[in-house]
Structure 1
Amino acid sequence: MKHTGKRLFQYAMLFKKPLIIALLFLAAAVATELSGPFIAKQMIDRHILGIEKPWYEIASVNQTDKVVPYNGKQYKRSDNFAEGEAKGKEVRILQAGSQFALVEQAISFDGARKLTDGQLTITQGAEKAVYPAKKLSIQELYMFYEPEFMNLMKLGAIYLVLVIVGAGFSYGQHYLLQAAANRIIQRMRTDVFAQIQRLPIHYFDNQPAGKVVSRITNDTESVRELYVQVLANFFTGTIYIVGIIGALFVLDYRLALFTLPIIPMLYLWIVVYRKYASRYNHEIRERLSSINGMINESIQGMTIIQAFRRQKESIQEFEQLNDEYTSYQNKMLSLNSITSHNLMNVIRNLFFFGLIWYVGGSSLNTLITVGVLYAFVDYLNRMFHPMTGIVNQLPNLERALVSADRVFELLDEQGIDVADGKSARYLGNVKFENVRFAYKEGEDVLKNISFEARQGQTVALVGHTGSGKSSILNLLFRFYDVNEGRITVDGRDVRDMPKQMLREHMGIVLQDPFLFTGTIASNVSLDDPSITRERVERALTDVGAVEMFRSLPQGIDEPVIEKGSTLSAGQRQLVSFARALAFDPAILILDEATASIDTETEALIQAALDVLKKGRTTFIIAHRLSTIKNADLILVLDHGEIVEQGSHDELMQQLGRYYQMYQLQQGHREAATAAVEEANVSSVTE
């Protein structure tokens, strides 16, 4: 996870400018918001409860000096006197219950108060004091409060301005954080998709397409939530908590020390939660990938599933994966329920209870003002809010880290950088020299393959299924590399050539052609700007398909949906054939290219091939031997070895395996068997 965190941080640093600005906005928003309790404290202690401070009688009257006229005399509060200003007799205004009374003398001590029959009784422990007092009416009390109204309104206005400014900063930081997160994930998705283009073919042999898709879509979306929600809450929460703890120390360090145990409790909470959540989330993401893989496979193979009545078995297999996924989701749900924000609320209430006990049972209750206590409780409430936000984001954090692990695992796969340069068109002289190859170690599929194809020659590969025909062409294309021996093109080892430059002058037509969503024309050109419209039409004309496609409503601009399912097998093959020819390859590979084409269409292609093969090295894999009679070289393979090679006439004269295969396809089974037996007898006699 440390490595994953570092990688995520590196991605974030690609867009550090908006992130830094967002954090500055966040700090400003926190500062403005945390100033609220300080303003409230000032309003309570100075301007509301400040009425209980000592008042002094004054001789001179100045309306600007916050003087209060009462009962024919002038009074001024102690904190409004200028330095050196003369003070007269001290009086006090004290609250007892819901009533206020004026005591025309200083008091010895403060404590519990009681106003009865013009007397104010103050009790503190065993001590008791009684003072003559006059109950103040609402109008009289208003007179003593009136000098503070302007200050209260100023502080209220300052608070309102801070709220508005804080809201602006908060909006800015939210917008910038989320915009940066979207750009980070955009970059990550681009990197993942680019990585897929770099991965060797054998990676996809071992990975279901649905699992790869899941990493690009579901996993990157989970990582987006990390930047948008999780980190925003963690950043915000951390700054809030640090700011609030600092404010608490400014208010009263003793109360601040009382709250410090909350931090290690939160840390311990996160550690314990992640220990279990990480394991559950790994299983959940793995099951989700398997479900996506199965859905993808089922959709692509729906024809076979329904044709062989395997719907029930497919449903059962899906239900098993779905049950496992749901089981781990429920385990995760139980963990989240146990460690949810409700537990945080319980801890908060316990701290409030402890605070009441701590303050009430110690000498602090006589030293802490109401304003300080109000501000402290407000800050404590504010501190638990971001902590609850952090706790609520823990499930998303773990899910995102697991998803990030899977994304980076894909990005760390060994790939090949796509070469940007162009290479000169090579002649197409191909030579295999003692080539051995195995998909799995120790299980050779090609053994000591040696042959040479010169420029302009046509080489046909024939043999039973699994004899190694397609493997030879996979090596030539460098979808895989040889284990022993070497393959050269124009005398240069293909392993010394960048794969993209090697394939730049190769064309291939597969037995099962793949068409992309677009049009017929775009599937021929693959949207390569160097392939002009005229070149596309010429390629279609060369394979005899242009008239066929002109009969469609939009001609060669007819839309093609995924995999070209609206076209016939023969039409898809013709598009694939025209695609290879449009790129004018030096080496053309036909892997059972005429297998899906009817006899009439095949005749058109064969006629076109006679022209197209000139100056181009062509490799043909064919089971229909009648299509390769004109090949310059025919290689007969059996279990990964070349058992016969030569032209059609030479191989027929040998009366060997090729002769027998050809006669069987022509329907001369008995004649072929007799000829082979006669040849074997003659060789033994000799």
Structure 2
Amino acid sequence: MTQTQHNKQTTSTKQTGKRLFQYAAKFKLTLLIALLFLSLAVATELAGPFIAKHMIDTHILGIEKPWFETQSAKKGEKAVAFEQTFYKRGDNYAEGEPKGKEVRILQVGSKFVWLDQALPWDGVRKLTDDGKLLVTQGTEQAEYAVRKLSVQELYSFYQPQFAELMKLAGFYVILIFVGAGFTYGQRYLLQAAANRIIQRMRRDVFAQIQRLPINYFDNQPAGKIVSRITNDTESVRDLYVQVLANFFTGTIYILGIIAAIFILDVRLALFTLPIIPLLIAWIIVYRKYASTINHEIRERISSINGMINEAIQGMTIIRAFRRQKETIEEFEVLNEEYTHYQNKLLSLNSLTSHNLMNVVRNLFFFGLIWYVGGSALNAAITVGVLYAFVDYLNRMFHPMVGIVNQLPNLERALVSADRVFELLDEQGIDVVAEKADRYKGHVSFEHVRFAYKEGEDVLKDISFEAKQGQTVALVGHTGSGKSSILNLLFRFYEVSEGRITVDGSDIRELSKQQLRQHMGIVLQDPFLFTGTIASNVSLDDPSITRERVEAALREVGAADMLGALPHGLDEPVIEKGSTLSAGQRQLISFARALAFDPAILILDEATASIDTETEAIIQAALEVLAKGRTTFIIAHRLSTIRSADLILVLDHGEIVERGTHEELMGLLGRYYQMYQLQAGHPEIAAAAESGEPSSEPVAGESIGHKI
């Protein structure tokens, strides 16, 4: 990766992080409560080692503290009877209470001995063969007469501590349950907030799809778009649920542990501080390498999704042309690339995650032993402090391992979020809820030019007028610009030059939703949604009543045909309506357009895939339905447009002929040739093209035309 690419990637990551924070800020109250619960959970958990330290130093190893003879032998005074004398530990005396002779109880190996005097100084302890205590400190030695304590005698000295030990143990158990409650609360709230964040993000992404121009979908495979809505947003969800939860939890734990260690012993705390910059450096180095790999992985998974979607959509063609093997090989190439980058990420994770963290932890423990054992701290640190410190150090490495192990998810989530925001940043048109008054439908094209690609005009100086209630037919060879005219009228694309008006107003002055509110369209290959026949007609618009649905189907002549199905108009429709015939699907699409009572009706080769009988039904319905409604028809079957008020003949983006059927037949031009070819008179069409006369009657003779 070049330095420029790295800088761009860093900038993009910062912007992505900022926008992810903005999404999270919408649920800040829930997140703040979750973080409060997390802090309380950490506080309760970190209290454990302090309680253990107190239990060890005060109530377990505290037996080695000085004991004194006492005259107080009342119950609850923590006095212990030994050899007809009562003794009480020095830290149990009240202030100003008189103390008697000092004695000591000392542990030597696994045995405890009674020393009937004070111990001036301590050191390495050892029992001699004759049962005496030998204490060595450097070159100095001292020998004392001692007596071994039996288990029962030792138990009596521990007995005054049992009540305190049980209280502390009970308090610790309560803290465990309280901490578990706070942990449950913070996890639930964090995940609930994460689900809401992703719900909002998915809603925004899907809403953005409704705003995007049609040409965006021309250039993007459906599978890749679906991948961004599903796979990528799910990865972002992992960011909030797993990654941030671990990072927040880990950070608070680490900060809490460092604070606790400083309270325990400042010198030991300073020993652990290098762990923090080590972790930060670790994260920076990992992300530098992992980000690039994750970008490649997400790109490959999108390509795989796109290809799978395409293969499923085109399964009929793949089977018909025996392309299964080639399709599998093409898939395997993408699959192999995906696996290659996954293995690269796996190698990086294996090198930098759990195992390496264990190595670092063990090195720190070794350093701790060397640091404490080889310095004056050896005598200054109590067993309880050392136990608590080791416990805290273990606890500190646990969240660090969690943070390091979440780095792959972090990178994957950031890459996915970057792809989601890239989609959200595409230029779109806001969906407006405003209603527009129904226009009359007087359409005018004024010197319109249009190109899908700059410099390659598909429409050249198109001008015509369609008055209210007229039917305008567009004919011409494939690629002549028929569909492009209607795409511009619907504002699926914008004109390059000129303008289009409806009732005298430039359509660009209306929002796209307001313009299309009073338009209806029927495509050559109608699209049906999963649902029922009735829901596909009404599109679940509450303003389209059941009666209106039934009326629309009756008007197109489909009521009897569709009503004969097992469930009538409630017959289930699966994706794309594959269980219905082409004619049934087209009739449903036609009724859908009519149910919305459009001022402008567009039929884009709507009868091309329909049988002759169904076409006759639609033709009969059109004569009634076209009244008061401006209708545009793209048709290859010229017999279906003989009654059109205006027929436009297009060739290479230009209108080469215009007029009614009779007028165009009289011109003996391109329309005449097309009509004769479809009527089964190729010799007449050829003669007209060459300019030679023909004595054959034309197909239009029945309406008064002869050559």
Task: Indicate yes or no: 2:622 matched with 1:609.
Answer: yes
Please list the CA deviations of residues 77-132 of structure 1 after superposition, one character each: whole Å capped at 9, or x if unmatched: 11111111111211111111111111122222111101232421110111111112
- Indicate the residue corresponding to 1:528 in structure 2: 541
SS at match of 1:631: coil
Task: Indicate yes or no: 2:590 matched with 1:577.
Answer: yes
2:77 corresponds to which of 45, 65, 70: 65
Offset of residue 60 of structure 1:
4.0
2: CA distance, partners of 1:328 / 1:248: 42
Please list the CA deviations of residues 33-56 of structure 1 after superposition, one character each: whole Å capped at 9, or x if unmatched: 000000000000011111111111
Please list the CA deviations of residues 315-336 of structure 1 after superposition, one character each: whole Å capped at 9, or x if unmatched: 1100000000011011111111
1: CA distance, partners of 2:101 / 2:282: 60
Q: Moved runs in structure 1, 4+ residues, more than 4 A?
A: none
Which stretch of structure 1 is more off in the superposition, 499-508 or 186-195?
Answer: 186-195
SS at match of 2:427: coil
Provide the identity percentage: 79
1:324-403 maps to which residues of 2 (within 5 A)? Answer: 324-403=337-416
- Indicate the residue corresponding to 1:43 in structure 2: 55
Task: Indicate yes or no: 2:543 matched with 1:499.
Answer: no
Task: Indicate yes or no: 2:465 matched with 1:457.
Answer: no
- Indicate the residue corresponding to 2:181 in structure 1: 168
Which stretch of structure 1 is more off in the superposition, 335-344 or 425-434?
Answer: 335-344
- Indicate the residue corresponding to 1:16 in structure 2: 28
1: CA distance, partners of 2:677 / 2:259: 92
SS at match of 1:64: coil
Task: Indicate yes or no: 2:126 matched with 1:108.
Answer: no
Are the aligned partners of 1:281 and 1:399 in contact in 2 as well (CA < 8 Å)? yes
2: CA distance, partners of 1:145 / 1:566: 85
1:233-244 maps to which residues of 2 (within 5 A)? Answer: 233-244=246-257
When normalised by structure 2's length, the TM-score is: 0.95
2: CA distance, partners of 1:446 / 1:344: 66
- Indicate the residue corresponding to 2:329 in structure 1: 316
Offset of residue 653 of structure 1:
1.4
SS at match of 2:118: coil
1: CA distance, partners of 2:237 / 2:653: 49
2: CA distance, partners of 1:60 / 1:392: 60
1: CA distance, partners of 2:599 / 2:62: 96
Task: Indicate yes or no: 2:640 matched with 1:599.
Answer: no
2: CA distance, partners of 1:455 / 1:110: 112
- Indicate the residue corresponding to 2:140 in structure 1: 127
- Indicate the residue corresponding to 1:684 in structure 2: none
1:293 corresponds to which of 303, 306, 319: 306
Are the aligned partners of 1:222 and 1:403 in contact in 2 as well (CA < 8 Å)? yes
2: CA distance, partners of 1:336 / 1:182: 27
Which stretch of structure 1 is more off in the superposition, 592-601 or 28-37?
Answer: 592-601
Q: Which amino acid aligns with 1:385?
A: H
1: CA distance, partners of 2:118 / 2:624: 120
- Indicate the residue corresponding to 1:683 in structure 2: none
1: CA distance, partners of 2:564 / 2:88: 103
Task: Indicate yes or no: 2:109 matched with 1:92.
Answer: no
Task: Indicate yes or no: 2:574 matched with 1:542.
Answer: no
Unpaired runs of 5+ residues, structure 1, are: 681-686
Offset of residue 624 of structure 1:
0.9
Please list the CA deviations of residues 320-362 of structure 1 after superposition, one character each: whole Å capped at 9, or x if unmatched: 0000001101111111111121111111111111100000000
2: CA distance, partners of 1:257 / 1:104: 41
RMSD over equivalenced CA pairs, Å: 1.2
2: CA distance, partners of 1:221 / 1:8: 14
Offset of residue 679 of structure 1:
8.0
2: CA distance, partners of 1:208 / 1:464: 28
1:264 corresponds to which of 277, 280, 294: 277
Task: Indicate yes or no: 2:65 matched with 1:53.
Answer: yes
Are the aligned partners of 1:655 and 1:679 in contact in 2 as well (CA < 8 Å)? no
2: CA distance, partners of 1:678 / 1:408: 62
Are the aligned partners of 1:520 and 1:556 in contact in 2 as well (CA < 8 Å)? yes
Offset of residue 62 of structure 1:
2.8
Which stretch of structure 1 is more off in the superposition, 366-375 or 385-394?
Answer: 385-394
When normalised by structure 1's length, the TM-score is: 0.98
SS at match of 2:498: strand
1:248 corresponds to which of 247, 261, 264: 261
1:216 corresponds to which of 212, 220, 229: 229
1:533-682 maps to which residues of 2 (within 5 A)? Answer: 533-678=546-691
Which stretch of structure 1 is more off in the superposition, 117-126 or 431-440?
Answer: 117-126
2: CA distance, partners of 1:241 / 1:60: 47
Please list the CA deviations of residues 177-212 of structure 1 after superposition, one character each: whole Å capped at 9, or x if unmatched: 111111111111111111111111011000000000
- Indicate the residue corresponding to 1:488 in structure 2: 501
2: CA distance, partners of 1:550 / 1:88: 109
Q: 1:365 to 1:620 in 2, by over 3 A?
A: same
Are the aligned partners of 1:177 and 1:232 in contact in 2 as well (CA < 8 Å)? yes
SS at match of 2:500: strand
Q: Which amino acid aligns with 1:230?
A: V
Q: Which amino acid aligns with 1:71?
A: E
Q: Which amino acid aligns with 2:93?
A: F
1: CA distance, partners of 2:152 / 2:277: 53
Q: Which amino acid aligns with 1:100?
A: F
| Residue-pair matches, total | 681
2: CA distance, partners of 1:23 / 1:475: 53
Are the aligned partners of 1:29 and 1:167 in contact in 2 as well (CA < 8 Å)? yes
SS at match of 2:406: helix
Offset of residue 147 of structure 1:
1.1
- Indicate the residue corresponding to 2:14 in structure 1: 2
